[in-house]
Amino acid sequence: MTINAVAQTLAGQSVAAGLDDVVAAETRLSHVDGQAGELIISGFHLHQLADWSFEQVLELLWRDLTPEPMDAARIREALGKARVRAHTLMQPLLPGLAHLNAVERLRLLLSALPDEEHLPHHVMAVGAVPVFTAAIARQASGLKPIAPDASLSHAEDFLKLLRNEMPTSDKVTALDTYLATVSDHGLNASTFTARVIASTKAGMFSSVVGGLCALKGPLHGGAPGPVLDMLDAIGTEKNIRPWLTDTLARGERLMGFGHRIYRVRDPRANVLKGAVSRLKEGSERIGFAGKVEAVALELLKEKKPLRPLQTNVEFYTALVLEAVGFPRESFTNVFAAGRMAGWTAHVLEQEQTGRLIRPQSRYIGQRAGSF
């Protein structure tokens, strides 16, 4: 077919802007039912995973995708080694990053993982994020990074790397719940990005760096920090309604509300609300946040009565992560620590089964000779 003939054929096709209804991959990793408000992760409803360790979730997601199958105990051991290795690789790079923000530093450190790394790359990618995230958060407070403790669970060591003290078991449980909750979510923007890169055979680290770059935007994983900014800006109960009304009247978005797929409440919001409710550190915020949420939902319903926007995962993410002790600048990086489970599994799945992902575009520019 000539170039002109191809252009003619494509000209007749409609453009799937936002790719809303396009099914671009088959996966056994997760399923999002936006009408029913259901998230299934490798055969389990999200709420069934709420009290699993992150290692158990990784066992589920990585099952049948790696040359050597690993149970949760072996994954825990392998992640310990990966954290230690990531700490060694990070040390010479960290001092040069002070001018970057938290997610930019994580982007740079992750992209420094070498393709010839001897540890399995999916384990290394998951192991590295808490080490980098905690060191980045400490650097912002003028503190030196802590050496990982390979004998601890991933969530335990994540919190210890942050504060240099053993975390309480309720905080570890809340972080495990958070990491499990955000571990995978269908073909979201960052996972799709990672799969596109994996489809070119660029390798695990390049693929997950791409995932992080997509996650960083405020329409995806950049929202939870701004949720706390919003709660702080509202400040008092009296100010809830006027603040939210003015914000919507200015055409601005309320952070932590709305979702491309869910038409009902995001099931992850409930699991995280439960997790934060069990922490004494979260009690002050949660009462106020609940009142903000109720008024926001009321106003959003007035705005769009036929399809009212609902609370999304980021609203309660902000409360959980604050309660377990992360500074808000770290929130996107902690999200990446959980979503790394899904990104690595999707990259492995894409490498096993996928073809090069290469859609078409419809040319609307000028044609040669028509200038």
User: What is the smallest separation between the CB atom of 149 and ligand ACO, expressed in angstroms?
Assistant: 30
Q: How far apart are CA 121 and CA 343, in angstroms?
A: 12
Q: Name which of 76 and 185 has its Cβ closer to ligand ACO.
A: 185
Rounding to the nearest 10 degrees, give the CA dihedral for residues 286, 290, 292, 295: 180
Is residue 68 part of the annotated active site? The answer reads no
User: What is the smallest separation between the CB atom of 309 and ligand ACO, expressed in angstroms?
Assistant: 5
Q: How far apart are CA 277 and CA 49, in angstroms?
A: 17
User: What is the smallest separation between the CB atom of 332 and ligand ACO, expressed in angstroms?
Assistant: 10
Per the document, the length of the chain is 371
Q: Name which of 91 and 245 has its Cβ closer to ligand ACO.
A: 245
User: What is the smallest separation between the CB atom of 54 and ligand ACO, expressed in angstroms?
Assistant: 18
Sign of the torsion angle spanned by Cα atoms 365, 190, 328, 81: negative
Pick the catalytic residue: 259, 281, 293, 349? 259
Q: Name which of 253 and 301 has its Cβ closer to ligand ACO.
A: 253
Q: Name which of 21 and 68 has its Cβ closer to ligand ACO.
A: 21
Contacts of 311 (CB under 8 A, 6+ apart): 256, 257, 265, 266, 269, 293, 296, 297
Binding footprint of ligand ACO on the chain (CB under 6 A): 219-221, 223, 253-260, 309, 312-314
Q: Is 71 left (phi over 0), alpha (psi -120 to 50) or beta?
A: beta
Q: Name which of 281 and 314 has its Cβ closer to ligand ACO.
A: 314
Is residue 351 part of the annotated active site? The answer reads no
Phi/psi of residue 56, nearest 5 degrees: -65, -35
Question: Burial letters for 326-349: b for 16+ Cβ neighbours within 10 Å, e otherwise?
Answer: bbbebbbbbbbbbbbbbbbbbbbb
User: What is the smallest separation between the CB atom of 80 and ligand ACO, expressed in angstroms?
Assistant: 28
End-to-end CA distance of the chain: 24
Catalytic residues: 259, 314
